[in-house]
């Protein structure tokens, strides 16, 4: 159990609705759907209605500084079933990357691999008191595109299992290119916090508003959004 999961939830009942994708940049079909993840009647491009309004406001702040730039939405709503699918997929991918066979691993080795997976992925809990952040419709994974429609290089990929996922990984670098990475991450953080979001402490791309992680970071007594 992570610290933020101790925050009680009093869901406000706000609807989960489709993001107006024409206002943003997205990838279609979604990367998880390409892998076989099933979302049922919803899609990764759903969020709570007020979260969408805040995201639109964040993009307005972005375009005030950089006309023509857009927020690129990588992922929004994620049912617990999809969370479980991606956790298992990431574990299997890690095995292949390391050239390991699950049947030959000790319980300690398996636990070490799972800990690596859970550095990025929330546990796919079915407990209503401890939902994965994306399953609330209040968390979104994003990056930026420029006025030419090109994704900005942020010095690491979304969902990357490495230290580069830490938001301030490049903060103290003296390399010019790496300084650019940090400046872009700082810009992303700036526009999102200005709109009311808070960033995941260990992921430069993950922002939330109103869920348990947000409440824990902002020292709010309750979270407004629970599992959908």
Catalytic residues: 203
Within 13 Å and on the Cβ side, how many CA atoms surround 178? 10
Please answer whether residues 190 and 198 qualify as being in contact, where contact means their C-beta atoms are separated by less than 8 angstroms: no
Dihedrals phi, psi of 26, to nearest 5 degrees: -145, 165
What distance in Å separates the CA atoms of residue 215 and residue 217, rounded to the nearest whole number? 6
Q: How far is CA 75 from CA 10, 27, 32, 218, in A?
A: 24, 9, 9, 23
CA distance 214 to 7: 10
Alpha carbon distance 17, 124 (integer Å): 22
Contact by Cβ (8 Å): 80, 137: no
């Amino acid at each position: 159990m992570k610290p933020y999961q101790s925050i009680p939830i009093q869901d406000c009942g706000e609807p989960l609705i489709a993001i107006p994708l024409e206002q943003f940049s997205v990838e279609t079909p979604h990367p998880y759907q390409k892998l076989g993840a099933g979302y049922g009647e919803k899609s990764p491009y759903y969020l709570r209605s007020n979260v969408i309004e805040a995201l639109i406001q964040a993009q307005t702040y972005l375009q005030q500084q950089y006309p023509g730039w857009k927020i690129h939405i990588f992922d929004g709503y994620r049912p617990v079933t999809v969370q479980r699918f991606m956790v298992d997929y990431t574990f299997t991918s890690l095995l292949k990357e390391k050239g390991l066979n699950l049947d030959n691993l000790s319980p300690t080795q398996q636990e070490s691999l799972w800990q690596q997976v859970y550095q990025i992925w929330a546990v796919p809990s079915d407990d209503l008191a401890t939902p994965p952040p994306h399953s609330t419709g209040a968390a979104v994974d994003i990056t930026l595109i420029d006025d030419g429609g090109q994704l900005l290089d942020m010095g690491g990929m979304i969902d990357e299992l490495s230290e580069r996922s830490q938001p301030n990984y490049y903060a103290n670098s003296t390399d010019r290119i790496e300084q650019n990475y940090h400046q872009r991450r700082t810009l992303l953080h700036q526009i999102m916090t200005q709109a009311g979001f808070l960033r995941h402490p260990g992921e430069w791309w993950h922002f939330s508003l109103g869920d348990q992680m947000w409440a824990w970071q902002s020292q709010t007594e309750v979270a407004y959004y629970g599992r959908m």
